[in-house]
């Protein structure tokens, strides 16, 4: 039985995004396969969770910061919408602050 070791890190493309769930707004970096559209990544049948790094988790209104974390896995079936950060053109909520470097 050939058990080829899997790489510890899989190359990904990081996408700054606002992710809305039923009761939270998450601002962070989504990780997707390089060259793959975000829509395709979200619709992939075997991808049940999506990795988010440098995440800031807010209440549903996006006004109160609940917590920050370096990494979280979010179940795809909890995602209501995803907006690339570069698509946001205005707003005054706290999530408009620059993301951590």
Nearby residues of 33 by Cβ (< 8 Å), 6 or more positions away: 12, 13, 41
**Whole-model pTM?**
0.77
Lowest mean pLDDT among 53-57, 61-65, 74-78, 85-89: 85-89
pLDDT digits (tens, 9 = 90+) for 1-54: 557 766 666 778 888 999 999 999 999 998 877 887 777 777 765 668 888 999
Sheet holding 24-32, edge to edge: 65-75, 49-59, 24-32, 13-21, 79-84
Q: Are strands 65-75 and 49-59 parallel, antiparallel or unpaired?
A: antiparallel
Nearby residues of 17 by Cβ (< 8 Å), 6 or more positions away: 27, 28, 29, 30, 38, 82, 83, 84, 85
Write out the CATH class of domain 13-85: mainly beta
């Amino acid at each position: 039985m050939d058990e080829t070791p899997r790489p510890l890190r899989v190359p990904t493309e990081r996408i700054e995004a606002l992710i809305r769930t039923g009761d939270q707004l998450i601002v962070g970096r989504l990780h997707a396969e390089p060259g793959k559209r975000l829509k395709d990544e979200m619709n992939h049948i075997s991808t049940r969770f999506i990795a988010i790094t440098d995440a800031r988790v807010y209440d549903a209104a996006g006004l109160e910061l609940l917590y920050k974390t370096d990494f979280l896995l979010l179940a795809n079936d909890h995602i209501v919408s995803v907006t690339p950060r570069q698509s946001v053109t205005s707003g005054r909520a706290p999530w408009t602050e620059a993301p951590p470097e």
